[in-house]
Amino acid sequence: MSRRTAIRIVTATLLTAAALIFRPDRAIQGATGNVAQTLCSEVFVSGLPEARVYAQSLAPNPGLRLLGPLLRHKVDRTDRAVEASWAGLFASRSTYRGAAGCRLAYGRPPEPAPLLAPPTLRTDSLAGPAPVETENPVLKAALDHIFAEPAKPPHRWVRAVVIVHHGRIVAERYAPGIGVDTPLLGYSASKTAINALVGVLVRQGRLEVDAPAPVAAWKPGDPRRAITLDNLLRMTSGLAVEETDTGFDPTSQMLFVEPDMAAFAASRRLKTKPGERFDYASPNTLLVASIIRQKVGGSETDVLNFARRELFDPVGMRGVVFETDAAGTPIGSTRMLAPARDWARLGLLYLHDGVVDGRRILPEGWVAWSTRPTLGSDYGAGLWTNAGDAPNAKGRVRAGMPRDAYFASGRLGQRIYVLPSQDLVIVRMGATWSPDFDIAGDLRLIRETIAALEPVPRP
């Protein structure tokens, strides 16, 4: 065998091995799934223009840019669906399903939308139907600053800010084409809603966070049976479910390739002992969402109606759209849409220790447990926290965020800040592509908002 032939054989072998390990086909399939699902959700649920959604929510994505002009999509307004493909291959299709939002088809015909109970109509205690415009010059300047676009990319593209003080909206602002009723995608801020639903089931005596997670795929003798619900909520399960947002990572492929996301998450091996290491990854949350679905009846209709009846309606969140996978499991890691005011109501639930209008929704002590730092990180159990000594938490405190503050956070700058010492909730939604999603801009907004509002009177 000649040297050249040997080199060719070795090269071909290495390339084949790399393809089998990294599965570029699945990465491309995930990319088309991302395009189809994001466009479907933000065009048909949020009501945003197709060009705006692609320019703000997709085009800046480095992985999608690598695929170049061969990555194409089509919005079908007749069937209310979006199809995306690369070079005519790896097609993904997402279809709008009314109150259940959009769902990827996974090569199957569209399923009928579930029969959901309508939200309960009630008087809005936060504000009237029109956006609240502040006359406070300091607060107005704070909104000007957070909405101001930098001279060059990455853009902020802030879509909504809502500021709630003493239980009332004192200021809010929306980008053009977005209003008080526009459902906005929360990405990982959705995890806080999953935390709340677990809290409801704990209060009802139907779940225990310290008990082994009831995952049917983990049979007796399986070391994964040691994983608790606490481990899943705190991202300490030890499962090999890395999240790098590259398209090659298990999380990306779970979200846009796998029809049963929780089953995929349950199939992952252990890489560390449960409870020993914090490793933030969305498949943990999908397992929790699947557990919730099984506990409340098992079907998509059961779980969505449970969420509306036991959480969203009592809290006053009338505009929530929670998307599901093909198994009917809410994609609780990333796919809840809600108007900015509804996100603020979720923040108020935590600010008020899980009580709304005198009714306890979350068990006593749940908020304190949820905001307790996990293994030296600045993450609790579905919320990020300033408690503890994690560098990020200490940095936020130095920058002016109160020590007792905590927040829900999703990619592209979806954040719900809860500041108990100020009796304050601040919601900020956007399509912000800076590496930290403009946390510095948010910290300035928080500092300026605190300065603009009178301190809470001491008892």
Which domains can be identified in the chain, with CATH numbers? 3-104 (no CATH), 184-452 (3.40.710.10)
Beta carbons within 8 Å of 265's beta carbon, 6+ residues apart: 239, 241, 254, 283, 284, 286, 287
Res 48 pLDDT > 50: yes
Predicted confidence band of residue 109 (pLDDT cuts 50, 70, 90): confident
Given a cut of 90, whether residue 455 has pLDDT beyond it is no
pLDDT band with cut points at 50, 70 and 90 for residue 159? very high
Average pLDDT in the chain: 94
Question: Which pLDDT belongs to residue 154?
Answer: 94
Burial bucket for residue 144 (CB in 10 Å: 0-12, 13-18, 19+): exposed
Q: What are phi and psi of 390, to 5 degrees?
A: -60, 140
| pLDDT band at 117; cut points 50, 70, 90 | confident
The predicted pLDDT at position 306 comes to 98
Provide the pLDDT for residue 111.
80
Question: Is the per-residue pLDDT at 454 higher than 90?
Answer: no
Report pLDDT digits (tens) over 49-73: 999 999 999 999 999 999 999 999 9
pLDDT for position 6: 45
Q: How far is CA 276 from CA 41, 273, 344, 374, 424, in A?
A: 37, 6, 34, 10, 34
Cα–Cα distance, 223 to 291 (Å, whole number): 19
pLDDT band (50, 70, 90) for residue 220:
very high
Confidence class for position 17, pLDDT limits 50, 70, 90: very low
Which pLDDT does position 362 carry in this prediction? 99
The DSSP annotation for 125-177 comes to: SS--SSPPPP--HHHHHHHHHHHPPPSSSSP--EEEEEEEETTEEEEEEE-TT
d(C-alpha 345, C-alpha 356), whole Å? 10
Q: Look-up: residue for tokens 């409870």?
A: 275
Would you say residue 457 has pLDDT above 70?
no
d(CA 459, CA 170): 22
Q: Outline where 272-371 has alpha helix (H).
A: 283-295, 300-307, 313-315, 340-351, 366-370
> What's the distance, Cα to Cα, between the start and end of the chain in Å?
88
pLDDT mean over 416-429: 99
The per-residue pLDDT for range 227-256, each reduced to its tens digit, is 999 999 999 999 999 999 889 999 999 999
- Percent of the chain past pLDDT 70, that is, above it, reads 94
Phi, psi of 308 (to 5 degrees): -70, -45
pLDDT for 173-219, tens place per residue?
999 999 999 999 999 999 999 999 999 999 999 999 999 999 999 99
For residue 279, which of 267, 268, 294, 295 has the smallest C-alpha distance?
268
